[in-house]
Amino acid sequence: MTPAPASWSEHTTGGCDVRVLPGGHFYLQDRQEEVAALTLDWVGTLRPTRSP
C-alpha cells in the first residue's frame, strides 16, 4: 500500500513528512535502526508548546 500524503490535508493544517521504507508486513523487524534514526530526527525537530 502506498500512502497518499495529499489526503492528510483533509485532516490537518500542519505539515506532513512521509517516508516509505521497502519491505513486507514485518519490515520494522528488519529496519529497526533506520526507523529509530528517522524517529529521533523527527523528534529533534519538534518545538515545545505552551500549555493553557
Q: Are 26 and 18 in contact (CB under 8 A)?
A: no
Question: Rounded distance, CA 9 to CA 40, Å?
Answer: 24
Q: Give the predicted TM-score (pTM) of the model.
A: 0.59
* pLDDT for position 25: 87
Burial of 24 (0-12, 13-18, 19+ CB in 10 A): exposed
| Res. 4: pLDDT tops 70 | no
| Res. 2: pLDDT tops 60 | no
Percent of the chain at pLDDT exceeding 90: 21
34-49 pLDDT, tens digit per residue, is 999 999 998 888 877 7
